[in-house]
Amino acid sequence: MNTQYLQYVREQLMVATADLSGETKGQLLAWLENAQFDTKNYPRKKQRIWDEETESWITLNNPPIPGKQSLAKGSAIPLVKPVEYSTASWRRAVLSLDEHYKAWLLWNYSENTCW
């Protein structure tokens, strides 16, 4: 696997995920809708446990929770239309990569975790 071929695949993916029609979202906007919310400043039902040694309640610091936007309008638009995905030439280039490259790209761009 040489760097020229990886650059070719990268360029093909950039073309495939470009919003040329205005009907699909860019990746950053699509990922923004699936953001992780942090509950530090405004806690929502943080877990509390009873500590027998100090005889007091301890509030646990929870990791960010998955959530949706509170003011989201409409539904999510796919990054790439299914017809464009199935007929695109870049798909052959991605599927011909080594397994570790292919797994990383498929996980990033299609959320496929079957590697």
- What are the sequence ranges of the domains in the chain? 1-24+78-115
102 by Cβ neighbours in 10 Å (0-12 / 13-18 / 19+) ranks as middle
Q: Which phi and psi angles does 112 have, rounded to 5°?
A: -85, 120
Whether the per-residue pLDDT at 6 is higher than 60: the answer is yes
Q: Which amino acid is at 45?
A: K
CA pair distance 18, 26, nearest whole angstrom: 7
Q: Could you report the per-residue pLDDT of 60-104, keeping only the tens digit for each?
A: 776 655 555 555 555 555 566 666 666 566 667 777 788 888 877
The encoded tokens of residue 1 equal: 């696997």
Rounded-to-integer distance, Cα 1 and Cα 103, Å? 15
This prediction's pTM: 0.30
